[in-house]
Amino acid sequence: MAKKRADKKLLMSILAEIIKERKEIETQRLLLEIVNKRLNSKYAVSGKRLRKIIAEIPEIGIATKNICGEMPKACPVCNGKLKGVYVKNLQGKKILVSMKCTRCGYKGGSGKWRVGRYVFYWKPKL
């Protein structure tokens, strides 16, 4: 029997509750396991959808540990738009140093573009 797609509002509340309790979750796989256990057995969520929803929750931060790989066309975390960060060299030419997501804050550079690990953490209110 195929599982149904979980409601976005339900997922947002479950994610906020889980990460607030634990403060930090070291891997996407672990978070996905915990979320799928809390969901009704009729529902399921994918890792990609989980990241997109987390990017919309201001109280939850996403840190990435990047590894070598090709430069992505879109943000690997939330599928948002990437903006180039440039510096000028001594000849006055612009050189791409890194790419930053305008939506979630992902940053990749120096040949390390691919995400090797996601870390999700609770942002304390200041």
Amino acid 126: pLDDT:
64
Amino acid 1: pLDDT:
56
The domain segmentation of the chain, as residue ranges, is 4-122
Q: Which of 38, 39, 47 is nearest to 6 (CA)?
A: 39
Return the ∠ at Cα 61 (arms to 65 and 36), rounded to 5°: 90
Q: In a 10 Å sphere around its CB, with 0-12 CB exposed, 13-18 middle and 19+ buried, how is residue 86 labelled? A: exposed
Amino acid 32: pLDDT:
92
CATH number for the domain running over 4-122: 1.10.10
**Which residues of the chain have a pLDDT value below 70?**
1-2, 126
The model scores a pTM over 0.75:
yes
| Residues in CB range of 101: below 8 A, 6 or more apart | 75, 77, 78, 80, 81, 82, 83, 107
Amino acid 6: pLDDT:
82
Amino acid 115: pLDDT:
87
Question: How far, in Å, CA of 67 to CA of 8, rounded?
Answer: 30
